[in-house]
Structure 1
């Protein structure tokens, strides 16, 4: 089993510019079966309701305490915990007590179907847009064959970390490659540099692993 490592290649406070840059990189590896998924963490009821209006197809899921619903049938659990689309969110503010942040996801969609709407709707919330099932080209001058298993692009929104655990005032584009480490050195880092250079970008920081 192999893993990926993601390198930051662009950063800006402008979400529209971040999206257009991420798309430019994504197009380098886009193929017929490429797909996009999005995720956001919403930390207030007002933000949940606002984003639900802009992304009604999103699946919204609130937090639960460990073991809180052990033994409780799925159909008897609160809808917000199980997960509901925007129109099904509870109207009663008390339903959100202990459930924040609420997560919003849309998974495995066609490329180009949701990215602009998510970037416009994200507001102050942290989130990400991830393009997967890409196919990176060969880099024969470096001795690298192309890759599809770990060929991804991620746009981090209002954060600089893949874990979304450090809010930031800007947005970061990541290019993913296969992780292959020898004596603590990432042997495929030059491939990440090469991929970035193909669309006029450059690696601007250390790789991030999940």
Structure 2
């Protein structure tokens, strides 16, 4: 299995604008087998309670040298700060999740079947390993390590189809605003 590559196409302080761009991108994608993955770095008890109320079966593990984790039956409140992940969620929980995390760095990744043909750049349907959209909240990067006060939308493509990223940005009236980077998963 190979990683996808991602390029940022929007930075905004307005969550609704970020979600609107995501929805526009999803509107041109083949959404067969659509799933949503949630990640967050949580250090606030308030954010933790809100996220766990929404995603009670999320996995988590302590940051740093500590070895506490959900699979050990540990209490996440006693383990803050933590990384939290929920794979294969449903799209209807996205906005609630982004509100629940508060100012914690978080990301939502929409995983679907394929991007459409892009004949203008010589590409046909783009398959599953490069068909994602990610919205990062309060982080500028996909690893959630560079704090930010805004939201960033990334389009994911296969590395050999890098020219699809600017094409996708243009389909929603934008342009790429950063470099192509390997996605963490």
Answer yes or no: same fold by TM over 0.5: yes
CA distance in 1 between partners of 2:92 and 2:124 (Å): 30
Which residue in the other structure is 1:126 paired with?
Answer: 105
Which deviations, in whole Å up to 9, do the C-alpha atoms of 1:36-71 show, x marking residues without a partner?
111111113343224334x15352523177695xxx
Which deviations, in whole Å up to 9, do the C-alpha atoms of 1:155-200 show, x marking residues without a partner?
01100111111111111000011013xxxxxxx3322111111121
Q: Which structure has the highest helix share of the two?
A: 2
1:29 Cα deviation (Å)? 0.9
1:136 Cα deviation (Å)? 0.5
- Is the 8 Å Cα contact of residues 12 and 152 (structure 2) preserved in structure 1? yes
Establish whether residue 82 from structure 1 lines up as the match of residue 71 from structure 2: yes
1:143 Cα deviation (Å)? 1.2
- Is the 8 Å Cα contact of residues 63 and 81 (structure 2) preserved in structure 1? no
Which deviations, in whole Å up to 9, do the C-alpha atoms of 1:22-45 show, x marking residues without a partner?
122122214231111111111133
TM-score between both structures, scaled by the size of structure 1: 0.76
- Is the 8 Å Cα contact of residues 38 and 109 (structure 2) preserved in structure 1? yes
Establish whether residue 27 from structure 1 lines up as the match of residue 27 from structure 2: yes
Which residue in the other structure is 1:185 paired with?
Answer: none
Which residue in the other structure is 1:148 paired with?
Answer: 127
- Is the 8 Å Cα contact of residues 42 and 101 (structure 2) preserved in structure 1? no
- Secondary structure at the counterpart of residue 170 of structure 1: strand
CA distance in 1 between partners of 2:75 and 2:120 (Å): 57
Unaligned runs of 5+ in 1: 69-77, 181-187
Establish whether residue 63 from structure 1 lines up as the match of residue 52 from structure 2: no
- Secondary structure at the counterpart of residue 115 of structure 1: helix
Output the aligned Cα RMSD: 2.5
- Secondary structure at the counterpart of residue 114 of structure 1: helix
- Secondary structure at the counterpart of residue 48 of structure 1: helix
CA distance in 2 between partners of 1:4 and 1:50 (Å): 30
CA distance in 2 between partners of 1:44 and 1:61 (Å): 14
- Secondary structure at the counterpart of residue 62 of structure 2: coil
The within-5 A match list for 1:69-108 is 80-82=69-71, 90=75, 96=78, 99-108=79-88
Establish whether residue 175 from structure 1 lines up as the match of residue 148 from structure 2: no
1:205 to 175, 178, 181: 178
Unaligned runs of 5+ in 2: none
